[in-house]
Structure 1
Amino acid sequence: MDTTGILDEALQRLHGSGPERLGRLTNHAPMAVEALAAHGQARSVHRWLDRYAHKLEDFPARAEPVTDANWPAALGDPRRLADWIGYFGREVADRPWREVLTRWWPRLLPGLYGGSTHPVIRVGHAVRTLLSGPPTAPRLAELAHGLGYWAARHRPLAPLAPLPGAERAGAALDAVPAIAARDGGFPARLERVTALPVWAGAVTRPREAHDRLTELVRAATHRYAAYGHGEETMLVHAATAPNAVLRALPALPHALWPPSLRAAWTASAAVTAMYAPAAPVVHAPRAVPTPEEVFERALAHGDEHVIKLTDTALDVGDAPALAAALRAMELSARPA
């Protein structure tokens, strides 16, 4: 837990900026600075933000307030980003944040795939902060920004045809077929995902759902070391999206854990279908440094996706996960 106040300062600094830039790209700064603070690097937060600042855009204009009566019509409308963030700002000011999260999680979960899964990842970082320390105003506002981003970019998938899967998460990811055409961005590719292997679909017990989700995060993180060369940035989300869901589980009722597992699996498998290469590349570093050293290397590298994958790798905590983080540093360009 960051007790320096630096994370709150950074979040306040960022809340004057929008959640996106250039019409579609995500503002990763809130997620990255939370990861830095969570791993004892609060002293580096403002310096990292200074380097990232040229990617920030002004907060978007408001159109019409979202209310309890009109929200269905605004769901999934990115033109209403500011309206949604304002709505959730009022919600977390008037109600306990866990109550707000519990009310909206099942409404938002079917649209986990919008915004290239970044909204749920931002929510996962915000929830971790609230679970680890006091619910300060900047941290509550960060949850509101994340939930508002998710609501505005809410995007469900069409029904998927079930394919044969496997018992273990790693084998199920290996069974994911690649989409036929690999051109276009995330939204265009997502439309081509029409069938995915079945994995953990019959899980109904909350504890089993938690354990299976933990297994999925581990498998997807390990897999990056061998498959990350297919698309070094987008394949990060095969691990970080389900990990965001996993981070949110302790704040949610147990009844929501099994459907959360299913949504997380679909997200991880869909990213795999869209970006994973046909063949792995053997990646075996001679020696894996300590977790602290790996995170320091991620900070020195500076790329936001490297920092976020390393953050997830430290959650997994084993040598293959740390090796995946090192692989991300090799594959990803350092920020200019």
Structure 2
Amino acid sequence: MRDTTGTLDEALQRLHVSGPERLGRLTNHAPMAVEALAARGRPEAVHRWLDLYAPKLEEFPAAVEPVTDANWRAALGDPRRAADWIGYFDRRLADEQRPWRDVLAEWWPRLLPGMYGGSTHPVIRVGHAVRTLLETETETETGTERGAGAVEPGSPRLAELAHGLGYWAARHRRVTGLTPLPGAAAAAAALDAVVPIAVRDGGFPDRLDRVKDLPVWAAAVTEPDEARRALTELVRAATHRYATHGHGDEVMLVHAATAPNAVLRALPALPHALWVPSLHAAWTASAAVTAMYAPDAPVAYEPPGTFTADEVFERALTHGDEHVIKMTDTALDVGDERALTAALRSIELGEPLWRSAG
């Protein structure tokens, strides 16, 4: 349910004076979390949540040199150029002759091979931005003077897509040299076949360097509709798996589900020709995160009761942690009882926002 109160636009404007990261490496999750709150029908909670999260925000970074159509390759993957990249996409998305879908379609194949930088947060931020833009199009499809699916130039929602794409370009990082291992037909079994890296310490970039072997899954998929079905299966499997494996790292293992779900959310805005490579990149991301943070053994988990989807999301909001909110948002996309159980597990494992903010 799209927010029609204007609260999301206000929150995004409030956030766009902040940078995409803090402390030089940690992601600003606020734009993703407030979009999830608005999308789940809780706009009245947006600013209250944001007030709690505000101490974690940092000022927007300084620009270095404008990114242009001529020099962008030299700036790709340079986190010092985040402001330059965001400015570039702001300019591209401000062009009324170029719909946002066209900009996304042009840049998606350039950015997709590097979706592993920034702990996969950039593609997740883009997925949230695309969901909002698609919902905006649906709301304005009838009766708008600007035509079906219009999004006003200068909209905070277009600006949010610019921030997401710019962050992705600045943190662009490839995964190369992987050795394929025997996989499985089903996504859940393929995730079970992932072999954890031998040394599981250090941050995301260090661990990612140690990922050398991943099982093969969905390699034979060649048709767009097959890719969408497979990606949906992967999101479901990774979400379900969190309930029994999330204790390996309650924060980072969230991304095994939320990163492929971000790709799934973007598919309707992308040309069909990009759906199959998007599936393969999403599998690599989910499997790599699994390899980097998997626990030594699963642990059975029984939820504390039976709850509706709305009740689970209310619990996530009360908890407040940004990863818990995003995990629950993805669990609600999956929509079954096992997914809600995984969301409840994330609530149990995560540190509440009011505690970390205090």
When the two structures are superposed, what TM-score results if normalisation uses the length of structure 1?
Answer: 0.99
1:21 and 1:56 in contact (8 A); partners too: yes
Q: Distance in 1 between matches of 2:232 and 2:262?
A: 11
Which ranges of structure 2 fall in alignment gaps of 5 or more residues?
A: 138-150
Aligned twin of 1:39 = 40
Aligned twin of 1:17 = 18
Q: Any residues of structure 2 matched to 1:116-265 within 5 Å, and which?
A: 116-134=119-137, 135-136=151-152, 137-265=155-283
Cα deviation, 1:75-119, whole Å, max 9, x if unaligned, reads: 000000000000000010012100000000000000000000000
Q: Secondary structure at the match of 2:180?
A: strand
Deviation at 1:284, TM superposition (A): 2.0
1:288 and 1:322 in contact (8 A); partners too: no
Q: Secondary structure at the match of 2:206?
A: helix
Q: Distance in 1 between matches of 2:308 and 2:316?
A: 12
Aligned twin of 1:114 = 117
Q: Secondary structure at the match of 1:61?
A: coil
Look up the equivalent residue of 2:44 and give its one-letter code.
Answer: R
Look up the equivalent residue of 1:182 and give its one-letter code.
Answer: R
Deviation at 1:183, TM superposition (A): 1.0
Aligned twin of 1:27 = 28
Equivalences, count: 336
Look up the equivalent residue of 1:304 and give its one-letter code.
Answer: E
1:102 and 1:252 in contact (8 A); partners too: yes
Q: Any residues of structure 2 matched to 1:300-319 within 5 Å, and which?
A: 300-319=318-337
Aligned twin of 1:75 = 76
Look up the equivalent residue of 2:232 and give its one-letter code.
Answer: T
Q: Secondary structure at the match of 1:211?
A: helix
Q: Distance in 2 between matches of 1:67 and 1:286?
A: 53
Cα deviation, 1:276-305, whole Å, max 9, x if unaligned, reads: 112100012253300001000000000000
Cα deviation, 1:198-232, whole Å, max 9, x if unaligned, reads: 00011110000000000000000000000000100
Deviation at 1:333, TM superposition (A): 1.0
Cα deviation, 1:120-162, whole Å, max 9, x if unaligned, reads: 0000000000000152410000000000000000000112100
Q: Distance in 2 between matches of 1:207 and 1:286?
A: 37
**Residues 330, 286 of structure 1: CA spacing in aligned structure 2 closer, same or farther, 3 A cutoff?**
closer
Cα deviation, 1:238-297, whole Å, max 9, x if unaligned, reads: 000000000000000000000000000000000000001121000122533000010000
Q: Distance in 1 between matches of 2:209 and 2:276?
A: 25
Aligned twin of 2:145 = none
2:24 corresponds to 1:6? no
When the two structures are superposed, what TM-score results if normalisation uses the length of structure 2?
Answer: 0.93
Q: Secondary structure at the match of 1:293?
A: helix
Aligned twin of 2:108 = 105
Deviation at 1:322, TM superposition (A): 0.3
2:311 corresponds to 1:293? yes
Q: Secondary structure at the match of 2:94?
A: helix
Q: Secondary structure at the match of 2:73?
A: helix
- Runs of 4 or more off by more than 4 Å in structure 1? none
Aligned twin of 1:84 = 85
Q: Distance in 1 between matches of 2:35 and 2:186?
A: 31
**Once superposed, what is the RMSD of the aligned Cα atoms?**
0.7
**Residues 278, 60 of structure 1: CA spacing in aligned structure 2 closer, same or farther, 3 A cutoff?**
same
